[in-house]
Amino acid sequence: MSRLSDVFARCKSNQRAALVSYLTAGDPDLTSSELLLNTLADQSDILEIGMPFSDPMADGPVIQAASERALASGAHIQDVFRLTAQVRQQHPDLGIVLMGYANIPFVIGFENFAKQAVEAGVDAVLLVDIPPEEGHICDGIFQKHGLDRILLLSPTSTEERIQLVCKHASGFIYYVSLNGITGANMGDMEAIQQQVNHIRVHTDLPVCVGFGVKTAKQAQEVGDFADGVVVGSHFVNTVPQNITHIEAMNEALKDAASSMKEALQA
């Protein structure tokens, strides 16, 4: 069994959804980022570590700004791997997903990328702009290295696409709860639940729901029917809100994460 399936099995036995948290590596700087990533990892079942990119086309203003801060502070892909390895060292059971855009692994080479990701302790990769149709450029390599490939589904996904994505995905399915970019407002909960149930007809993989989860109440509601709840912009926002004060930033992130964690345990 892969580490991700262990995580979901453990959450299931505790009768709760997994907390899947996102933070951009290197935001606001490398030293602070190490602290923040570990703080968030303490409270999470799965941590999505964002690789900063110059052109984050699927992200809203909050995560765009995080990418800009990280790049401005000099975060390189090697730093992302190093920070990931440090988180792994302190959190042996945590699920770790490396998340970002296709061009970084494409340019450094998917083989090289996969090798370093595995060495750093990564379980799965989520590349927003590689749909199953373009998976030919990386699927074989990720599979060879034992990396799961997380794929997205959205409200625009047709029946045909749901089947295609379920066939190619591994680890879990990430259901984007609204047509939009990260950090937008959450869609109608009932419709989301229906879609999640519908996806389950086609796959045994866990289904996590994200994009727009901002409050503990939303997390709880989503957690009632999804296998995992993804929270991103809400956590990333604690960085600019406390930008001059790393201690306060860390505390704010800890509070935000623990209230989400509690909501899922209730």
Partner 1 sequence: MSTDFTYDLTIHHAPDEGGHFLANGTLFGGCFAAETLMQPLQEIETAFFEAWQDEAFQQERLSLLKHYAGRATPLYHAKRLSKELGGAQIYLKREDLNHTGAHKLNNTIGQALLAHRMGKKKVIAETGAGQHGVATATVAALFGLQCDIYMGREDMRRQAPNVFRMKLLGANVIPVDSGTATLKDAVNEALRVWVANCEDTFYIFGTAAGPHPFPLMVRQFHTVIGQEARAQCLAQAGKLPDVAVACVGGGSNAIGLLHPLQDDDIRLVAVEAAGCGLETKQHAAALCKGKAGIIHGSLSYLLENDEGQVQPTHSISAGLDYPGVGPELAAMMESGRLDVDSATDDEALAAFQTLTQVEGIIPALESSHAIAAGMRIAASMNPEQIVLVNLSGRGDKDLGTVMDKLAEDAKEGDQ
Q: Kindly tell me which residue out of 46, 99, 122, 165 binds partner 1, with binding defined by CB under 8 A.
A: 165
Q: Kindly tell me which residue out of 11, 126, 176, 186 binds partner 1, with binding defined by CB under 8 A.
A: 176
- Tell me how far apart the alpha carbons of residues 227 and 209 are, in angstroms, rounded to a whole number: 8
Segment lying near partner 1 (by CB under 8 A), choices 35-43, 127-135, 139-147, 240-248: 127-135
Can you name the residues that pair with 48 across neighbouring β-strands?
22, 97
DSSP character at residue 52: P
**What is the pattern of x (binds partner 1, CB under 8 A) and - over residues 192-231?**
----------------------------------------
| Comparison of 57 and 201: residue with beta carbon closer to partner 1 | 57
DSSP character at residue 199: H
Q: Is 63 in the site for partner 1 (CB under 8 A)?
A: no
Alpha helices, DSSP H, located in the chain: 3-13, 30-43, 61-72, 77-90, 103-108, 110-120, 139-144, 159-168, 189-202, 216-223, 233-236, 238-241, 246-265
Q: Is 166 in the site for partner 1 (CB under 8 A)?
A: no
Q: Is 134 in the site for partner 1 (CB under 8 A)?
A: yes
Segment lying near partner 1 (by CB under 8 A), choices 40-48, 124-132, 199-207, 235-243: 124-132
- Tell me how far apart the alpha carbons of residues 220 and 229 are, in angstroms, rounded to a whole number: 9
| Comparison of 6 and 134: residue with beta carbon closer to partner 1 | 134
CB atoms inside a 10 Å sphere around CB 127 = 26
Q: Is 103 in the site for partner 1 (CB under 8 A)?
A: yes
Q: Which two tokens stand for residue 29?
A: 């700087």
Q: Is 242 in the site for partner 1 (CB under 8 A)?
A: no
Neighbouring residues of 190: CB distance < 8 A, sequence distance ≥ 6: none
* Per rule CB under 8 A, count of chain residues that contact partner 1: 43
DSSP character at residue 174: E
Q: Which of residues 14-53 bind partner 1 (CB under 8 A)?
A: 53
Q: Is 180 in the site for partner 1 (CB under 8 A)?
A: yes
For the four alpha carbons of 237, 41, 51 and 7, in that order, the dihedral sign comes to negative
Q: Kindly tell me which residue out of 7, 23, 117, 153 binds partner 1, with binding defined by CB under 8 A.
A: 153
Q: Is 246 in the site for partner 1 (CB under 8 A)?
A: no
Q: Which two tokens stand for residue 7?
A: 């995580």
Active site residues: 48, 59
List contacts with partner 1 (CB under 8 A). Answer: 53-60, 64, 68, 71, 76-77, 101-108, 128-131, 133-134, 151-158, 161, 165, 176, 178-181, 184
